[in-house]
Amino acid sequence: MKRQKMINSGAAFILMIGLTSSSQASRNPGTMSGIASVYSGGRTANGEHASAGKLTAAHRSLPFGTLVKVTNRHSQRSVVVRVNDRGPFVRGRVIDLTPAAARAIGFSGLAPVTLLVVGHGHSRS
In CATH, what number does 21-120 get?
2.40.40.10
On whether the CB atoms of residues 76 and 111 are closer than 8 A, the answer is no
pLDDT digits (tens, 9 = 90+) for 51-103: 999 999 999 999 999 999 999 999 999 999 999 999 999 998 999 999 999 99
pTM: 0.74
Strand-pairing partners, residue 9, are 12
* Residue 70: φ, ψ to 5°: -110, 125
3-state secondary structure of 84: strand
Domain boundaries, given as residue ranges, for the chain: 21-120
